[in-house]
Structure 1
Amino acid sequence: MTCERYLVQARSNENAARSIESAYPDWTVTMCFYAALHWVEYYASQRGDDITSQFPEKSPHDSRRGYVRKLAKKLENRRLEKLYNDLEDASQKARYLQGIKYNSAIDHFKNHQSEVNTSFDKLQQIKDILKLK
């Protein structure tokens, strides 16, 4: 496995999120999370870390959360874990309608544009912490 595939996917997800922000804010939030996920995978891959073998959990998401938790401690930046978890929570809100009182996730995020903007901000903060471009 090469690092490049994670880099390509992270950039693709982020670019796609920006391209559909006004029409599909729910998917924008979801893609911000998946961009973060691939940035974490890219970071790990660059360092030779195999997340699933180092953190054997029930799911790849659980393994990745464990890696992010340990990485946040190692980098002495606990904000990394919070940012990542916040993006995952926003993605679940968009995908599974958790805590949404509107008829759809699209309506919710169109009426709460700040949550969409915050997703981009959190993604950028993750990249900054990991020193990724």
Structure 2
Amino acid sequence: MTKEELIKIFSAYLPYDLDVCTSYGSPKLNNPKKMFGADIDRIKRNKNLSFIMKPILYDLSYLTKEIEHNGEFFEPMEKMHKDWDCEAEIQFLYALSDDWASAEDKLQFAPYSIFQKLLAWHFNVFGLEENEFINKANLKPE
């Protein structure tokens, strides 16, 4: 992944208090921290990306499973279905849940409100490979 692609991805999550794990010159990831603008500047300045920054995200398959966000536990698909009455959004949700294998392809056609919610809930909406993010569902509470 190029530096420009990383900047675009991290910038999209910037308003949503995304947690990241960082490692500067060390192979071991440290404790998660909130991402902020200086992290994006660090990516821009670093010529060879010798540091690692991995976002902590949910895989899209967790749209139909219970997640935790800001201390609240809920199933995202169920919550979106209850909260929205727009037919286009509801139809898109059903289309998305029909085939998780092509969910990332379908997201490019998502209504903005759905895409924004998925960003806010820290879902992997950009199709990052498994080695490029930390699956939030696999983290153990301290």
Place the TM-score, normalised by the shorter chain, in its bin.
under 0.3
Q: With the length of structure 2 as denominator, give the TM-score of the two structures.
A: 0.23
Select the structure that is richer in strand: 2
Greater Rg by CA:
2
Q: With the length of structure 1 as denominator, give the TM-score of the two structures.
A: 0.24
